[in-house]
Amino acid sequence: MNFEKYPWLVDLSSPEAVAAIEKAQQSFQQTGAAIFPNFLSGLALQECIQDARAQESTAFTTDDVHTAYLRPINENTDPLSVENLEMRTQVASIAYDELPPNSILGSVYEHPLLRKLVSKIVGKDTIYLSDDSLGCCSINVFRAGYHHSFHFDESEFSTTLMLQESEIPGTGLFQYTKPLRDSPDDLALTSVANAIHAYANDAVTTKSRLLLEASSAKEQTISDNNNNNDDDDDDKSNSSSFAPSLHTLDFAPGTLSIFAGSKSLHRVTRVKGKRSRLVAVFTFASQPGFQNTSTIQNMFWGRSSSRTRPRRGGQKEAEEKQQK
């Protein structure tokens, strides 16, 4: 970690740390994201890039369709609902067990200071390392033409580190809405339908395009009817007839991002050029023992594993102390 740029990391109770964390908390709560540019030193970043490039060509590629909720089709709901709308995603991923045993990326992921920083920003007393041997600390690889369609994450929040941008500026962008919901039980159908209709028609499968148009119109009719039952005309300015604003993350190499992925709809736009977009994904959890579902493991790494993440020297003891 870049202690030269962020000297307050060594003491998160210092006035400088408190001020920086409060600013990040506010950004996370209001916009869904908080960032720390140049979180890695230059040399550390270059080594992480080298490790990623060594595995890049063999990284498993996901080329599939999914809903915005990353759930199976709901046969019990209206087939026109955006809940069942399928969009295409193409992304490769380097699993944790494919990285060198003593990689810098793994060391950063397991560093207690990173967990303390993230926990303060997301408002958790304690967060834990993932036990997923594949997805605890992985690297997303977006080759030319690859993209990740709009979705909500299974996990409450995500922590990522940009390693390498795509070659062509304006491609491979991480874009997201403000938080649209408070829990996974809230599907936020109107906002999701409007966002996808406004920004992502190209990612929708041919089979689903007509369903999208019907779904967006249907959800909007419901929203308009609800608004018409409200006597306060001022509230109509908040009508969801307008798609939620789409923000582009300022995500330069070396930047750490903490993102409310379960609340904000988000995507990665299509990559162009010969250079792949490389992003490390750090998975933390609110409870010890978290592992991705076998469905998610198979989707992103082409295999599933119930094995737990291998502990580095001294890490097991540190985790046991954290849980006491």
Instruction: Please report the pLDDT score of residue 144 as a whole number.
Output: 97
By the 8 A CB rule, do 177 and 268 touch?
no
| Alpha carbon 60 to its chain's center | 19
| DSSP secondary structure letter of residue 303 | S
Instruction: Please report the pLDDT score of residue 237 as a whole number.
Output: 33
Q: What is the C-alpha to C-alpha distance for residues 297 and 299, in angstroms, rounded to an integer?
A: 5
Indicate whether 2 belongs to any domain.
Answer: no
Indicate whether 273 belongs to any domain.
Answer: yes
Instruction: Please report the pLDDT score of residue 286 as a whole number.
Output: 83
By the 8 A CB rule, do 190 and 222 touch?
yes
Indicate whether 128 belongs to any domain.
Answer: yes
| DSSP secondary structure letter of residue 21 | H
CATH of the domain at 18: 2.60.120.620
Give how many domains the chain has, as a whole number: 1
Instruction: Please report the pLDDT score of residue 210 as a whole number.
Output: 52
Single pTM value for the model: 0.83
Q: What is the C-alpha to C-alpha distance for residues 38 and 1, in angstroms, rounded to an integer?
A: 9
Indicate whether 174 belongs to any domain.
Answer: yes
Indicate whether 299 belongs to any domain.
Answer: yes
Q: Which of 266, 81, 86, 261 is nearest to 189 (CA)?
A: 81
The pairs formed by 67-74 with CB atoms below 8 angstroms and a separation of 24 or more are 67/151, 68/149, 68/150, 68/151, 68/152, 68/192, 68/196, 68/265, 69/151, 69/152, 69/184, 69/187, 70/151, 70/152, 70/153, 70/154, 70/296
DSSP 195-225: HHHHH-GGGB-HHHHHHHHHHHHHHHHHHHH
Indicate whether 125 belongs to any domain.
Answer: yes
Indicate whether 1 belongs to any domain.
Answer: no
Instruction: Write out the two tokens for 248.
Output: 């582009």
Q: Which domain holds residue 215?
A: 7-323
CB atoms closer than 10 angstroms to residue 57: 10
The per-residue pLDDT string of the chain (324 residues; one tens digit each, 9 = 90 and over) reads: 999 999 999 999 999 999 999 999 999 999 999 999 999 999 999 999 999 999 999 999 999 888 999 888 889 888 778 999 999 999 999 999 999 988 999 999 999 999 999 999 999 999 999 888 888 999 999 999 999 999 999 888 899 999 999 999 999 999 999 999 999 999 999 999 999 988 886 655 545 555 555 555 555 554 455 444 444 433 333 334 578 999 999 999 999 999 999 999 999 999 999 999 999 999 998 888 888 788 888 888 888 777 777 766 444 444 443 333
Instruction: Write out the two tokens for 286.
Output: 């609110």
Q: What angle do CA 290, 249, 25 make, to 5 degrees?
A: 60
Instruction: Please report the pLDDT score of residue 314 as a whole number.
Output: 41
Segment (H or E) for 126: none
Instruction: Please report the pLDDT score of residue 322 as a whole number.
Output: 38
Instruction: Please report the pLDDT score of residue 309 as a whole number.
Output: 78
Q: Residue type for 117, please?
A: L
Indicate whether 188 belongs to any domain.
Answer: yes
Instruction: Please report the pLDDT score of residue 213 as a whole number.
Output: 56
DSSP 161-198: EEEE--SSTTSS-EEEPSP--SSTT---HHHHHHHHHH
